[in-house]
Amino acid sequence: MLLFLLRALVVVAAVWVPLAHAQVPRTPQRDPVRPTREGLRVDSIPPLPDVIRLYGDTLDVSFQLPDFGPSPDAPRLTLADAIRIALGQSPSLGIDVLEVERARNDATRGNAGFLPTLDANGRFGGSYAGTFFGGGSDSTGSGGGSSGSTNLGADLTLGYTLFDGGRRDATLRRLRAEAVRLGLTADAQAEALAFAVTDAYLDVVRQQGLVVALEEAVTVSEDRLRIESAEVRIGTAAEIDAALALSDLNTDRAALLRQALGLQQARATLGALLALADPEAVIVTDTLALGPAPDLAVLSGLAETENRRLRSLEVAEVVAEEAVREVRAEYLPTVRAVTGVGLSAAERNFFPRGDPTVGPDFTYGFTASIPIFDGGDRRRRVANAEIRVRQAELAAVDERLNLRAAVARLRAAVVGYRQLANLEAQNRAVARQNVRVALAQFQLGFITPIDLRQVQLALIDAETRRVDAVYLAQRAEAELRLLAGELLPADVSYLGGE
């Protein structure tokens, strides 16, 4: 007991050692937006110098974390801002949107064959026929003869299909359904991009939280080395105690450096999804905190009716069915009405001489055609179209089964990770108090460095588990909203009118 009191008095006395040669410790540079909390720094002991002497050598213990952070003028983005930027600048999504526009241009009555056709024709030509011998004699009594003519004309021809077995109706319905399908596909791609941005954004926030946790670990290890160095200077501790403290400090600094590098890479991944010129120039402003719990029953119900990928596959069934009707309509006759009006000029000379016969032309008529034999081509195309219908049905069934399994998995994940995050938050709060008490006890000599290190590692583990649990809970909620069709902003849709 007397030894403990003596050691405590010595450590307190060390506080009054002149600090002329001591320097303020360098701390890692923080991002402009970072989670903060009450620090664990012990200010009642001398600060850590840049160099210490161990085993007769002078060791540089200063540490400066590389500047991986974005510039202060980088854009500050909430999650909603990041999603809107990605939706507006993604080249791959732009390709899908143009495909939707192309399909809408195709889905017209004219493209389906409902409108009449009007053709303008012009013609000019001449002919000459001559004989070498025979054929009687002309009025002059000479043998042989020749003839020539020149024709010039123009006409307009109007045609309309009166009946085609319903092929035009099936074609129009197929084209419109295809435009809807592509619109739903584009919306699904936009939602997938929004989820990717959400995941990357949350990962940046997660990495920042882990960096803060490791910064606190470095702070505790620095305090431990400060205490051990002070005791070594006054002869109440051995150099090996300071050496072990320095080793643990370097271990924590290396972990912090790796985590800072992971944060920089996560930020670059987010910037790439946003299609920024400088992928690293982005600052996230949202924090890693759980909001109100979502209504899981409502989201599960929406996943059955509003999931865009499932709806796209269901519309694909309609497209395949209309394609079958198109081919089957070819078995029925096609009836067309044609009428035309024109003007023609004719002259009985091979070369025009300026004395033509000019008159109007008028034609009309009806045509009916039905294919008799095509080598089984129609039968083959009908069979293949029916196969595509069955494939579309199976794809929709498969997607529905996977969707239900994913919803069940995510519902459990949301509930479990939220509860886990609350437990780990409590563990983190207790672990922080344990570190404060352990530092005070270590400073007074009541516990060993090993005890302090175990308490310190327990805090790192608790904070890491808490950050991971919150991240996984938020990610599961975002994925569930994706399956329910609720992840896109309300004013963003490429579907148009159905």
Pull the structure tokens for residue 372.
Answer: 């008799």
pLDDT value of position 136: 53
**1 confidence band (pLDDT: 50, 70, 90):** very low
More confident residue, 47 or 9: 47
Q: List the domain range (segments joined by +) for residue 358.
A: 117-125+146-163+334-369
SS3 state of residue 69:
coil
Residue recorded with tokens 């854009």: 75
CATH code, domain with 286: 1.20.1600.10
CA–CA dist 209, 194 (Å, integer):
23
In Å, what is the CA distance from 434 to each residue of 221, 236, 427, 439?
Answer: 15, 25, 10, 8
**189, 263: one domain:** yes
Q: What angle do CA 24, 26, 28 make, to 5 degrees?
A: 150
Handedness of CA 363, 368, 372, 374 (dihedral sign): positive
146 confidence band (pLDDT: 50, 70, 90):
low
Over 50: is that where the pLDDT of 141 sits? no
Query: Any idea what the CATH number is for the domain that residue 352 is in?
Result: 2.20.200
Q: Which residues contact 305 (CB under 8 A, 6 or more apart)?
A: none
Residues 430 and 444 in one domain: yes
Claim to verify: residue 227 and residue 308 sit in the same structural domain: yes
On average, the pLDDT of the chain sits at 85
Strand 146-163 versus strand 334-347 pairing type? antiparallel
Say yes or no: 210 and 357 in one domain.
no
Question: Do 154 and 178 fall within a single domain?
Answer: no
Q: Averaged over 412-427, what is the pLDDT? A: 96
| Statement to judge: residues 346 and 393 lie in one domain | no
Total tally of structural domains belonging to the chain = 2
- Answer yes or no: is 22 within a domain: no
Instruction: Quick: pLDDT tens for 204-237.
Output: 999 999 999 999 999 999 888 888 888 888 877 7
Distance between CA atoms of 323 and 378, rounded to whole angstroms? 12
Indicate if 183 and 285 belong to the same structural domain. yes
Mean pLDDT of 260-266: 93
This prediction's pTM: 0.81
The reported pLDDT for the residue numbered 252 is: 94
β-strand partners of 120: 156
Q: 407 and 471, same structural domain?
A: yes
